[in-house]
Structure 1
Amino acid sequence: MKATTRPSSNQLRPVEPQSKAPDRKSKTAATTPAPSETWGSGVADHPLRGHGLVRRVREQVPTAAVRPLTARLELTLKEVATLLALTERTLARRLEEAEGHLDTTESERLLLLDNLALHGLAVFEDQGKFNRWLRRPLPVLEGRSPLAYLDTATSFQVVDQLLGRLEHGVYS
């Protein structure tokens, strides 16, 4: 009988590239890729926090990043327009522009929504379950759904904290 080898736990997990700390002795700063190199077809592949979030907001998100996030969260044009504090018509016009960008306020809201989507997927481990949770009225949000609650930058933080509580098993 042939012995089978089981892969080690290191072989099962994808290896993530480690970022090298900048050399303090070097006078040359690390170059930051241009926004067109980092955006791709989505918004971000990991939650952005602190300076990374501020930098992305200031770069202004391309309007092309709106549709993939909208599709992933199964949002209507009206829902996205409300989240970005725009009218439906303004959002539709911006989405028609091939090389357009959201302004900084709209970019911030879209990036906060993307962070929330990434966190929600990590908590629920299923996009559909997270999308349904976004629409479910919750007593902790004054009977509003998380999606309906997202009308300010602070409300994004409140919903993100709620996801953190769910992640750690705290009943909310």
Structure 2
Amino acid sequence: MATQPASALQNVGKLSPLQLIDRSRQGLIGTEAGRVAGLLDVSDKDMARLLNQSVATFHRQAKLQRLDAATSERLLLLARLAIYGATVFQDQGKFTRWLRRPLRLLADRSPLDLLDSTTGIQLVEDILGRIEYGVFS
């Protein structure tokens, strides 16, 4: 059973692109970063890397009332990906294990290695779509 997202992450998988932009411009609460880390089953060090931050900055931002738009957008995209992955694999644990597995399709890099860029997030989302619909390459 997939972990249910809480608060601002609720229904993130159903947001239209414009709603996602609006939500990120409003800024997420700093504690949402920890929730996303939980969905992806990553450490603070890994989460800081995914947000292109130092661990110290990540911890400092976790205490903020509102995160900046860029960080909020990245968190929303990562949360949406985590929810989609858990749906495709029908299990959060299977998805997070898959994230760590090197894939030939990704030049033997793991999907997790690519999640520090929006292009990488989109690429992993596309691969999940292939898996969901049984399109192998």
**Is TM-score (shorter-chain normalized) higher than 0.5?**
yes
Instruction: Indicate whether 1:153 and 2:108 are aligned.
Output: no
**Gap runs ≥5 in structure 1:** 1-38
Counterpart of 1:107 in structure 2: which amino acid? Answer: S
After TM superposition, give the deviation of residue 40 of structure 1 in Å: 5.2
Structure-1 residue corresponding to 2:89: 124
**Gap runs ≥5 in structure 2:** none
| Cα distance change of structure 1 residues 42 and 57 upon mapping to structure 2, 3 Å threshold | closer
Structure-1 residue corresponding to 2:44: 77
What root-mean-square deviation, in Å, do the aligned CA atoms of Structure 1 and Structure 2 show?
A: 1.7
Distance in 1, Cα, partners of 2:12 & 2:28: 15
Structure-2 residue corresponding to 1:141: 106
Aligned length: 132
Identity %: 42
Structure with the largest fraction of helix: 2
- 1:41 and 1:64 in contact (8 A); partners too: no
After TM superposition, give the deviation of residue 171 of structure 1 in Å: 1.4
| Cα distance change of structure 1 residues 141 and 49 upon mapping to structure 2, 3 Å threshold | farther
Counterpart of 2:101 in structure 1: which amino acid? Answer: R
1:110 counterpart SS class:
helix
Task: Find the structure with the greater CA-based Rg.
Answer: 1
Distance in 2, Cα, partners of 1:151 & 1:40: 23
More RCO (CA 8 Å, sep 6+): 2
Counterpart of 2:71 in structure 1: which amino acid? Answer: E
Distance in 1, Cα, partners of 2:16 & 2:100: 25
